[in-house]
Each structure stands twice: as C-alpha cells, then as structure tokens.
C-alpha cells in the first residue's frame, strides 16, 4: 500500500475530499488505485504542504529581520565549534541518546572494585542495548552495561552522581548505580516504548511518557546520593488518543506560589498542536491547554516533538515541531498563549524524524538536530541559523548541551554510529 505522503495518494485524497468524483474515478483508473489505498489520515495534505512551503519562503525572506532587540538574546561567542570524535566501539551501532554528568566511577578502568572518584562522564546508549560511559577528558571507556534493559535504551536521566534513570523499548524504567551497574529499582508501568523521562527541578517529582499513549507521574521517595534505595509513588496516569512526544515540569501558572508549591507537568502529543498543562495535586488533572497554532488553520498539522525549559530564567519554553519539510522552532512563556518567536530552522525532517533542541547555557540560542547530519545553531534574537556544525553522516538522533568545569560543551550522536564532543577550544 502506498505511504500516506505518496504524491498520488495526496492528489487522490484531495479530489475525494473536495467532491471531484468524476476526476477521482478517472485518476484511480489511470493509476490502478483502490479505495482502501486512499486513507482518511489528514496529518499530511496538499494544503498543509503548500502552507508550510509558504511559511518557509516567508521565513527565508525575513531572515535579516530582528525579532527582539535584546543584547542578551544575541548568539553568545565563543561557542562550541571544535570537534573531537570519541573512539568507535565494537559492535558499532546507531546512537540513541547522549548526556554528560558528574558520576562517581571507579578510578581504575580495569578494576571496578577500586575506589571511586566523582568526575564528568559522557554517557551514550545505542541500538545494541548498551549503555556506555566514557571519561570526559581521556575518552577512556569506563564501563559498558547491556543488562539494564532487554531492548535498546531510548532515554536517560541522571538524578545524582550515583543514581541513573533509563527508559527503554521494553517499557521499563530502571534505576541503576552507574559505578557498579547494580539495579536499585525498576518500574514496568508502560506496555510499549518508554520514550521520555522528566524530573522536576527540586528532584521531588518524576514523569515518564510511553508509546502506549500514557504518561505516568510519580513522587520520588528516599532520593539522595547516600541513599541505597529509591522509591516511587504514582500520583496518577494520563491516557491520550495518540502517543505523547514530550514532557517537562514547569513552575505553576498561579502568582501565589512558593518554593514548596508542586510544579505542573506539560505534555505534547502526536496529531495535536496543543501543549497540555496538568496539576499534580490533589489529583493529576488538566489545568490548561495552549494552542501552538492560534490561527486554527485546519490544514496545518504538526505537534511539539520536543519541549525544553530555558536555562536562564526557567520560565520560557523552547519547542521543536514536527513541521515538514523543515523543523520549526517556537518560543513561548510557560503558561501563556502568546508565541513570542516562530522560525524555521532549515533542519530537514520527515514523518519518522525526532526533532530535538538544546538550549545554550546562556539562553542566547538553541542547537537543532537534523536528518542531514548538520547541527544548526539558531540565534534567539533573530531566529536566524548562525552556525552549522558538520560531522555526522545521516540523522543526528541525540544531543546534549551544558557546562563542564565552567566551559560550554555540546555532545551529539547519530545514525552514523559516532559520538562527537564540541568544545570552545581545540584539544
């Protein structure tokens, strides 16, 4: 059966939906199309393609226009532009996620029972089910774990130097000690892929999103670097008609909040242009929803594939959309309907892409992945792509941006089976 973005299917669906029945019958006969080959899925239409092309052309024309005249939003220089490639490991496999964090790891690479030291490490998961941990400075492979999940690890999150959370295609959430690989706790609340893990800033709440169309919210018990066990109390479960794609905790919208006020959970899902806000207490319930398509053009179909809270003020949300043929970046204040910025990133993507963005630590811009292997740096003030980092061949699936020893770094991983570390200076 032809795919839903097949040109002939798009034309046939357009003829059918607009009542051009005689032309449709002639078109079907000419091409040998059957009725069951023309789906009712309207996520991609001729109108949406034309509209997105119009918007993209408009964004190209406005490339030189400044969206906000704020020096703090100018692209910060220097930026990570010097590349080091980590040694390839055997077996080579597609990189699915990367991160950098300070971990308590054995001092001796060859002796896991040796004393430990806390130092920055690069973590990477790949399609061969492995979790690999590298020394940030030497690129030495400190350890490889393949026992944590029965299938590839899709997402990871470091709670503290001795506590690591991973989510896999097996639907499990696993808590482990990165130094030993010991499994501290695990949950099997998802029936399909666990694709996202989010933790609140105060480390008191956790959420997971899965392709079983569910999001679970938990409170974290007994969490601390010296606590041998960790527990989760489920606050509630959200069920959706389509798969959730992104989750993030934000400060509540109310003005009368304190440091002890529980955060709200923001969720996006496939085939919906809304961001959904949920209160955790007294029960997990919807508090608000905000439309990323305020003009309500029914033919414009996209969703938020990634939602990232800004690192400077923790009040603005950067959003990467599923828009085709190029990713679109949006900026909005958490809890508000107004879209402060909207710009195309020039990053190519299709139906099967996973749009990802990472904030630069100063908040001056974001890094965007792309199916062409290029990492693009977008300046916040103008919405312009001002930097292109080229190394990967094929899709860039994973990115991490942050500060290590006071210096800004970027780590990227892709379907070319390589991991690149980008720094401010050449090693």
Q: Which sequence spans correspond to the domains of the chain? A: 7-61, 71-423
Residue 20 pLDDT exceeds 60: yes
pLDDT digits (tens, 9 = 90+) for 407-425: 999 999 999 999 999 999 9
**H helix count then E strand count, the chain:** 3, 28
Helix (H) or strand (E) holding 72: none
Does pTM top 0.85 for this prediction?
no
pLDDT classification of 7: cutoffs 50, 70, 90: confident
pLDDT at 61: 46
The percentage of the chain sitting over the pLDDT mark of 90, rounded to a whole number, equals 68
Q: Is the dihedral of CA 45, 51, 53, 59 positive or negative?
A: negative
Residue 10 pLDDT exceeds 80: no
Residue 145 pLDDT exceeds 50: yes
Q: Taking all residues of the chain, what is their mean pLDDT, rounded to a whole number? A: 88
Q: Which CATH superfamily is domain 71-423 in?
A: YVTN repeat-like/Quinoprotein amine dehydrogenase (2.130.10.10)
Which structure tokens are listed for 119? Answer: 């130092």
Which structure tokens are listed for 29? Answer: 């006969």
pLDDT digits (tens, 9 = 90+) for 308-353: 999 988 999 999 999 999 999 999 999 988 899 999 999 999 989 9
Could you please report the per-residue DSSP string of 131-183? EEEEETTT--EEEEE-SS-SS-EEEEEEEETTEEEEEETTS-EEEE-TTT--E
Which structure tokens are listed for 69? Answer: 């005249």
Residue positions counted in the chain: 427
Q: How far apart are CA 226 and CA 2, in angstroms?
A: 56
Helix (H) or strand (E) holding 27: helix 21-31
pLDDT classification of 42: cutoffs 50, 70, 90: low
Hey, what's the torsion of the CAs at 289, 294, 296, 297, to 10 degrees?
-140
Q: What is the mean pLDDT of residues 291-301?
A: 72
């Amino acid at each position: 059966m032809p795919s839903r973005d097949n040109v002939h299917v798009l034309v046939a669906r357009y003829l059918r939906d607009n009542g051009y029945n005689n032309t449709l019958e002639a078109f079907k006969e000419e091409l040998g199309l059957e009725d069951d080959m023309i789906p009712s899925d309207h996520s991609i239409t001729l109108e949406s393609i034309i509209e997105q092309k119009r918007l993209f052309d408009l964004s190209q024309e406005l490339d030189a226009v400044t969206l906000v005249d704020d020096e703090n939003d100018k692209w910060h220089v220097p930026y990570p532009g010097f590349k080091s490639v980590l040694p390839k490991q055997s077996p080579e496999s597609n990189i699915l996620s990367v991160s950098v964090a300070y971990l308590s790891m054995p001092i001796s690479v060859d002796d896991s029972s040796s004393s430990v030291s806390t130092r920055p490490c690069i973590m990477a998961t790949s399609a061969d089910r492995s979790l690999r941990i590298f020394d940030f400075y030497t690129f030495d492979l400190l350890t490889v774990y393949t026992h944590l999940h029965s299938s590839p690890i899709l997402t990871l999150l470091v709670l503290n130097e001795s506590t690591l959370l991973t989510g896999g295609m097996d639907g499990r959430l696993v808590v482990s000690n990165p130094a030993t690989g010991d499994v501290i706790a695990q949950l099997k609340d998802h029936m399909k892929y666990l694709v996202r893990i989010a933790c609140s800033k105060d480390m008191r709440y956790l959420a997971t999103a899965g392709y079983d169309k569910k999001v679970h919210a938990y409170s974290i018990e007994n969490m601390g670097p010296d606590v041998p066990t960790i527990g989760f109390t489920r606050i509630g479960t959200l069920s959706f008609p389509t798969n959730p794609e992104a989750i993030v905790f934000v400060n509540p919208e109310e003005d009368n909040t304190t440091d002890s006020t529980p955060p709200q959970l923001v969720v996006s899902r496939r085939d919906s242009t809304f961001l959904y806000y949920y209160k955790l207490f007294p029960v997990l319930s919807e508090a608000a929803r905000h439309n990323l398509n305020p003009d309500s053009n029914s033919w414009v179909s996209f969703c938020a594939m990634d939602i990232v809270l800004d690192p400077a003020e923790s009040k603005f949300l950067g959003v990467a959309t599923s828009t085709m043929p190029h990713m679109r970046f949006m900026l909005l204040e958490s809890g508000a309907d107004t879209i402060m910025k909207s710009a195309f990133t020039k990053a190519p993507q299709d139906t099967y892409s996973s749009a990802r963005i990472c904030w630069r630590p100063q908040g001056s811009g974001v890094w965007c992945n792309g199916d062409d292997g290029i990492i693009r740096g977008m300046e916040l003030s103008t919405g312009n792509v001002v930097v292109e980092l080229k190394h990967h061949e094929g899709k860039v699936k994973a990115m991490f941006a942050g500060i290590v020893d006071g210096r800004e770094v970027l780590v990227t991983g892709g379907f070319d089976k390589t991991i690149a570390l980008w720094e401010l200076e050449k090693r």
